[in-house]
Amino acid sequence: MPSTPHLCILTTAHPADDVRVYEKFCCSFLAAGWRVTWVGPDYDQFGKRPATSHRLEFRLFEPPLRRISRLLAYRRARAMALPVRGVSAYYCPDPDAAAVAAGLARRAGARVIMDIHEVYDRPRAMQHWPIGPLLPWACRMVRAQMRRICGRCDLVAAVSESVLAPYRSHARSALIIRNCAPYRYAEGPPADVCPASREGLVLMHGKANLSRGTENVLKAVRLALAHRSDIRIVMFDTLEDSRRGSARADFDRIVFELAVRDAIDLRPPAPALEIPRILRTCDAGLIAYDRGLGEGSLPNRLFEYMAAGLPILAPVYSSEIARIVTAERCGILVDFSDPATVAKAIVYLREHPEQCRAMGARARKAFELRHNWEREIEPLLDQIQRWSGTPQPSRTRREPRASKEKDLACSREKSS
């Protein structure tokens, strides 16, 4: 293997400016001084694709347009990755890409890292596929295939223990790499939570999505407004129509029926780099997942709220989130399937600004010490260094300066 690692990011689905894959993994590899080749579909999410440089090369193929072409994207990925030489390790955020990498790695003597974001073989994860009564059979087939792929990889990483659990026993080596926010999210002053100068309580909900808790949030806001008329909630407009109906029309209808239009601040989606500034204008953050989605979730948004110094309103049935919120005493756990309970918690936040500020301060401190990306990624970087056989450079843990140096290195790559 080369003494300096060469990482090949191999993906069949993720855009070139993906928050987790580029902003976190790719930038961490670059900041470590390594070479990175990105093989993936030719599209970006926010219109801010990074530029190719002497250490970052993009090899992109035409993105799949339909579901059937998505299933065949692994062929294009393999064709683009095959000529890449001197790869130390493949990082794959998609199972089909990991299967391709496992075949390439045998020829190159490279390692394979598969990064799992969700449990793929659950019915909810596959409900958008029109397979009807074949769904249970399809879940079993996906489960078996996932376990085979895990067994072919050198390391299986996952965003949480809940996501890793179904595959851990089939992996040669496993690692939890939570979707923490980078340290730069905590640079500058924290949010001014519940200041005397602000009229009312400003809540951040995140993406508006009726299948991910937004409807119950709207109902909770309606109930809370009966007690306090000065509550406002920020949402990002990600409403997309589907075969089942018009999400935007349904959203507008619910907002009209509940008479909460004046309380909703619906904004266009924002790039990741703008999120810290937006969060600093809020008083609290919501994670409104229902039971089906929330039970095993550990979203990036939790750590973004903590970095901003916001108190958090989160699902009591989400074990991963609840463990952190309880241990750090940085929020309130409620049942988001019950709008009345959520409304009661919102009113409590509005009427107890001192407690809000205290929870927000604890969230910020916990992020700085225990829950930032720079700390989270270190075990993987150390493992890649051991694979390459090069000395592991000493890194200052949890230091703002160390984080800034990494961000500057990544910024240089972007601007090259």
- Assigned fold of 6-180+374-415: Rossmann fold (3.40.50)
Tokens of 250: 């349904």
Taking the domains of the chain in order of start, what are their residue ranges? Answer: 6-180+374-415, 184-369
Provide the pLDDT for residue 116. 94
Residue 317 vs residues 23, 41, 71, 312: alpha-carbon distances, Å: 30, 36, 34, 15
Provide the pLDDT for residue 398. 43
- Intrachain domains 6-180+374-415 and 184-369 with the same fold: yes
Burial bucket for residue 408 (CB in 10 Å: 0-12, 13-18, 19+): exposed
Smallest Cα–Cα separation from 238: which of 45, 18, 70?
Answer: 45
Provide the pLDDT for residue 12. 95
Provide the pLDDT for residue 402. 42
Provide the pLDDT for residue 231. 96
List CB contacts of 24: < 8 A, sequence separation 6 or more: 179, 182, 373, 377
- Assigned fold of 184-369: Rossmann fold (3.40.50)
The CA-based dihedral angle spanning residues 214, 218, 219, 225, taken in that order and rounded to the nearest 10 degrees: 150
Residue ranges for the chain with pLDDT beneath 50: 1-2, 123, 125-126, 394-409, 411-416
Query: What tens digit of pLDDT does each residue of 175-210 get?
Result: 999 999 999 999 989 999 999 999 899 999 999 988
Residues 221-248 as b/e (b if ≥16 CB within 10 A, e otherwise) read bbbbbeeeeebbbbbbeebeeeeeeebe
